[in-house]
């Protein structure tokens, strides 16, 4: 009893020193997120664009209190926000930071309440903080997207409650309609697939307020014919009703011709995952665990992605409107499988729902945004410190407190060391007593069916295990435990684990999953079986685990395998 108490103390001490480390069971790291409040915007706004340009945090357009478009922009400099008049209002319009250093501001709603669409285009020069109107698009647009490609040209597509097409800005003053689209979309992704080409797709059509998604996602191309990406039938891109800057999701290397993006997706069970695109190829990202959809009883509504290419990390910002908590899911996409980290905040009552931007220090900033109503946008600006190694902008911890923290950590480590030494000595004394007890009870213990018999070899034991798997199909039980199988074959957990590891060179979980994947293959060979339905009949706990495990073992997704192996 004394030894157990000491072990508990050690575990508690270790847990306190390693708070925020990965949970062994879930594979998910959880961390408390520090936040920092910056000065408020001068004007509350939503439906605006936010980005860094010329080293300054900048917001353009949107609407303010009363759902009224505002013909203003603001930039943050010298610890304060400075307001600039725009030539036109851009509520649900788009701002495109260009390689030239300027910003191209386009379109938006032309009346309060988000009604109508507009043509106008203007340049923002961050060096002079001035706007200059110079022309108009080929089509009136709001809730659309735009992406710069080669030579300063910009591809524009998407619309709200109106027609849609793809048009091209020449980088100077002219907008030209270049082609019709196979599907009319609102707030689409426009992803570069080459220096002079893009693909366009979305989960929402131009009249998406009905909440009905397109039956099938068709991908348009600037150069080339539309095509169907089967993966998007199972995993739909998250839907947004405000214009997106698709390059926020860019993870490639343009100079090397690597045009890759990482996008959040959702299946019919509302489970979130990530899809990686490279050119026109789509693949599901393998992660160490499923994306958490709940935290301490709170459901998490994920919204906006941002990629940090410099550090090989992606972020997906989520909210819970009831608790007023903000969540940030981090995915280290350069690793395989990619580790996940869930950051959570204390309640933030003045936090707005909007596109986050990444600052030079690797932290996220949300400026303005929506609380509960389009009529009452917010003007708060919050830094989410997902990269805590960098000092805060406003508040700085003093060195005395820092060294005090270090000293306390060292003291705690020393105390744990003393406890461990004492526990080892106590353990040795207890082990000696237990050895004597074991000798006295040897005859009685030999009848325990969970102990291995000395006469059975590992090969014979593995044959028993495989026979049970094949005849009883134990792998179809999603709650199957190693101890269950050990009891059935007449050995203990350690012996069973060692047997599988020595002869199959894998863990018990991997051993069982190979049977589940083989069973899934048999089901997938049937023409009328959908990949999204198979996981429920194979013993996997959820769809995400099924897809991730199937690809890890087979080397392709269930849909890809099915297309190559149909009966």
What distance in Å separates the CA atoms of residue 313 and residue 84, rounded to the nearest whole number?
A: 34
Is 516 part of any domain? yes
Mind listing the pLDDT tens digit for each residue in 41-51?
999 999 999 99
What's phi and psi for 169, nearest 5 deg? Answer: -95, 135
* C-beta separation of 44 from 65 below 8 A: yes
Q: Grade residue 416 by pLDDT with cuts at 50, 70 and 90.
A: low
Which of 387, 414, 440 represents a domain boundary (last residue)? 440
Q: What percent of the chain has pLDDT over 90?
A: 52
462 and 436 fall within a common domain: no
427 and 463 fall within a common domain: no
What domain count does the chain have? 2
488 and 404 fall within a common domain: no
- Determine the pLDDT at residue 368: 94
Is 487 part of any domain? yes
478 and 549 fall within a common domain: yes
427 and 465 fall within a common domain: no
Is 174 part of any domain? no
Q: Grade residue 100 by pLDDT with cuts at 50, 70 and 90.
A: very high
476 and 406 fall within a common domain: no
What distance in Å separates the CA atoms of residue 80 and residue 77, rounded to the nearest whole number?
A: 6
What distance in Å separates the CA atoms of residue 176 and residue 181, rounded to the nearest whole number?
A: 14
412 and 507 fall within a common domain: no
- DSSP helix/strand/coil, 23: coil
Between helix 482-489 and helix 493-504 the angle, nearest 10°, is 90
Is 324 part of any domain? no
468 and 516 fall within a common domain: yes
475 and 507 fall within a common domain: yes
Average pLDDT score, the chain: 83
Is 317 part of any domain? no
Is 114 part of any domain? no
What distance in Å separates the CA atoms of residue 555 and residue 560, rounded to the nearest whole number?
A: 10
Which of 440, 466, 499 represents a domain boundary (last residue)? 440
480 and 532 fall within a common domain: yes
pLDDT at 2 over 90: no
CATH number (domain holding residue 534): 1.10.10.60
Is 161 part of any domain? no
Element (H, E) at 114: none
Closest CA to 96 of 138, 51, 131: 51
464 and 505 fall within a common domain: yes
Strand order in the sheet with 80-85: 49-53, 56-60, 72-77, 80-85
What distance in Å separates the CA atoms of residue 276 and residue 264, rounded to the nearest whole number?
A: 9
Concatenated DSSP letters of 337-389:
SBPEEEEE-S--TT--BS--EE-TTS-EEEEEEBSS-TTS-EEEEEEE-S-TT
- pTM of this prediction exceeds 0.75: no
433 and 499 fall within a common domain: no
* Residue 560: domain span: 458-564
Is 90 part of any domain? no
Which of 386, 411, 440 represents a domain boundary (last residue)? 440
């Amino acid at each position: 009893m004394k030894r157990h108490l000491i072990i508990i103390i050690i575990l508690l001490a270790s847990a306190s020193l390693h708070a925020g480390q990965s949970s062994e069971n879930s594979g998910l790291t959880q961390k408390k997120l520090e936040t920092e409040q910056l000065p408020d915007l001068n004007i509350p706004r939503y439906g605006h664009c936010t980005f860094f340009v010329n080293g300054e945090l900048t917001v353009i357009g949107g609407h303010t209190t009363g759902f009224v478009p505002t013909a203003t922009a603001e930039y943050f400099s010298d610890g304060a926000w400075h307001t600039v008049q725009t030539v036109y209002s851009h509520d649900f319009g788009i701002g495109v930071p260009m390689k030239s250093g300027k910003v191209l501001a386009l379109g938006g709603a032309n009346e309060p309440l988000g009604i109508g669409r507009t043509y106008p285009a203007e340049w923002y020069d961050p060096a002079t903080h001035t706007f200059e109107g110079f022309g108009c698009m080929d089509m009136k647009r709001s809730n659309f997207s735009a992406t710069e490609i080669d030579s300063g040209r910009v591809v524009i597509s998407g619309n709200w409650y109106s027609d849609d097409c793809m048009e091209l800005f020449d980088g100077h003053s002219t907008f030209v309609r270049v082609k019709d689209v196979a599907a009319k979309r609102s707030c689409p992704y426009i992803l570069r697939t080459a220096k002079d080409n893009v693909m366009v797709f979305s989960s929402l059509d131009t009249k998406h307020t009905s909440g009905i998604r397109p039956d099938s996602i068709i991908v348009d191309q600037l150069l080339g014919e539309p095509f169907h990406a089967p993966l998007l039938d199972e995993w739909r891109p998250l839907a947004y009703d405000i214009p997106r800057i698709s390059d926020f999701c860019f993870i490639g290397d343009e100079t090397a011709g690597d045009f890759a993006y990482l996008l959040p997706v959702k299946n019919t069970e509302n489970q979130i995952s990530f899809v990686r695109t490279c050119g026109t190829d789509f693949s599901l990202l393998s992660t160490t665990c499923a994306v958490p959809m709940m935290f301490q009883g709170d459901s998490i509504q994920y919204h906006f992605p941002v990629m940090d290419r410099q550090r090989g990390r992606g972020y997906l910002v989520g909210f819970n409107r009831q608790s007023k908590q903000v969540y940030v899911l981090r995915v280290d996409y350069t690793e395989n499988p990619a580790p996940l980290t869930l950051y959570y905040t204390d309640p933030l009552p003045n936090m707005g729902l909007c596109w986050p931007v990444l600052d030079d220090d690797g932290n996220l900033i949300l400026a303005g945004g929506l609380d509960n109503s389009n009529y009452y946008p917010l003007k708060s600006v919050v830094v989410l410190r997902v990269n805590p190694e960098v000092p805060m902008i406003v508040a700085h911890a003093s060195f005395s407190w820092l060294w005090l923290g270090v000293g306390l950590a060292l003291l705690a480590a020393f105390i744990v060391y003393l406890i461990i030494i004492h526990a080892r000595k106590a353990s040795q004394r207890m082990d000696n007593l237990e050895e004597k007890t074991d000798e006295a009870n040897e005859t009685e213990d030999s009848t325990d069916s969970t102990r291995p018999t000395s006469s059975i070899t590992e090969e014979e034991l593995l044959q028993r295990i495989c026979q049970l798997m094949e005849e009883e199909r134990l792998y179809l039980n999603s709650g199957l435990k190693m101890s269950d199988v050990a009891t059935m074959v007449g050995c203990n957990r350690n012996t069973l684990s060692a047997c599988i590891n020595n002869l199959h060179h894998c863990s018990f979980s991997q051993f069982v999953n190979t049977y589940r994947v083989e069973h899934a293959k048999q089901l997938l060979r049937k023409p009328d079986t959908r990949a999204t339905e198979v996981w429920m009949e194979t013993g996997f706990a959820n769809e995400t685990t099924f897809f991730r495990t199937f690809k890890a073992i087979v080397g392709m997704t269930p849909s890809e395998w099915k297309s190559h192996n149909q009966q």
